[in-house]
């Protein structure tokens, strides 16, 4: 038999008790009608069974539990920026060394090929105190673009499926890497040395691995507690570690719906009363 939730199990037991009360009341109603038609029985009180209070002891065998986990990318922004920069810098260093060994003089490169600065989008600031009016298009164009690594980090934090960062890593890392290739005039050389884009593919795989290392459960919530409803299994296949007992105290309560006429308005109103 399939396992069910504890809520369904206990709820069904309570609903069965309610149906039992309903069945008893209907039997009492039929007896009242029969008594009213009998010359002798109509002088007797109609028997009606009530349970003012009931205590239930229900053994429950726990089979499993359902949890929902909230995942998130937890690497600090500064650490992530350093990691991506270092990984891209390492690739650029490799290309510069390869180009140097082939006798090609790298252009726009400092004497120390290992001194590769962190790439950031240039931000232009206006120094004039009096600024001429600009059109909306000009103002929009003056807004600096978001740094590609900052955008990379932001998209990872906003990812609705944190366990699947591949697409974000592929697109964002390509933006960072291509910008660095252009900066060091290595685009054509890279295509010659890696026609199958092997270096970038390896870089993406390593970055995705690091992202997953920092993608963790930030919140865990129990959704359902599953129990096995088969009583023979509860009796024979359980132990103190797997079974707990629910003790419930039920008090019987009757509900009456009465119709009362409002003398001022002349309208009928329904009033609910409890025993």
Question: pLDDT at position 118, please?
Answer: 39
Residue 242 has a pLDDT of: 61
pLDDT at 274: 59
Q: What is the pLDDT along the chain (275 residues), one digit of tens a residue?
A: 568 888 888 888 888 888 888 888 899 889 889 989 989 988 888 888 777 788 888 777 777 777 778 889 999 999 999 999 999 999 999 999 999 988 755 554 444 333 344 344 433 333 333 444 555 555 555 567 789 999 999 999 999 899 999 999 999 999 999 999 999 999 999 999 999 999 999 999 999 999 999 999 888 887 777 887 776 666 665 565 566 777 777 777 766 667 777 777 878 877 766 56
- Residue 27 Rama label (left phi>0; alpha psi -120 to 50; beta): alpha
Q: Evaluate if pTM is beyond 0.95.
A: no
Supply the pLDDT for residue 46. Answer: 86
pLDDT recorded at residue 3 = 80
Position 104 scores a pLDDT of: 59
Q: Any idea where the domains of the chain sit in the sequence? A: 4-66+226-274, 75-120+142-213
């Amino acid at each position: 038999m399939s396992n069910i939730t504890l809520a369904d199990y206990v709820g069904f037991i309570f609903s069965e008790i309610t149906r039992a009360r309903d069945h008893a009341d209907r039997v009492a109603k039929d007896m009242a009608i029969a008594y009213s038609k009998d010359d002798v029985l109509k002088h007797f009180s109609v028997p009606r069974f009530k349970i003012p209070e009931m205590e239930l002891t229900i053994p429950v065998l726990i089979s499993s539990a359902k949890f929902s986990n909230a995942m998130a990318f937890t690497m600090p922004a500064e650490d992530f920026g350093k990691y991506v920069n270092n990984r891209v810098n390492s690739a650029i260093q490799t290309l510069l060394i390869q180009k140097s060994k082939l006798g090609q003089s790298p252009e726009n490169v400092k004497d120390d090929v290992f001194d590769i600065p962190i790439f950031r989008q240039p931000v232009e600031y206006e120094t004039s105190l009096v600024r001429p009016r600009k059109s909306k298009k000009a103002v929009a164009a003056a807004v600096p673009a978001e740094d590609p690594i900052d955008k990379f980090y932001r998209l990872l934090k906003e990812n609705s499926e944190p366990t699947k960062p591949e697409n974000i890593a592929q697109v964002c890392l390509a933006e960072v890497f291509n910008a660095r290739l252009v900066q060091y005039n290595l685009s054509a050389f890279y295509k010659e040395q890696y026609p199958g884009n092997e270096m970038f593919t390896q870089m993406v795989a390593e970055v995705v691995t690091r992202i997953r290392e920092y993608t963790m459960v930030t919140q865990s919530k129990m959704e359902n507690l599953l129990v096995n409803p088969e009583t023979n299994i509860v009796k024979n296949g359980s132990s103190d570690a797997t079974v707990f007992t629910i003790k419930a105290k039920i008090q019987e309560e009757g509900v009456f719906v009465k119709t009362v006429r409002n003398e001022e308005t002349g309208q009928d109103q329904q009033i609910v009363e409890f025993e």
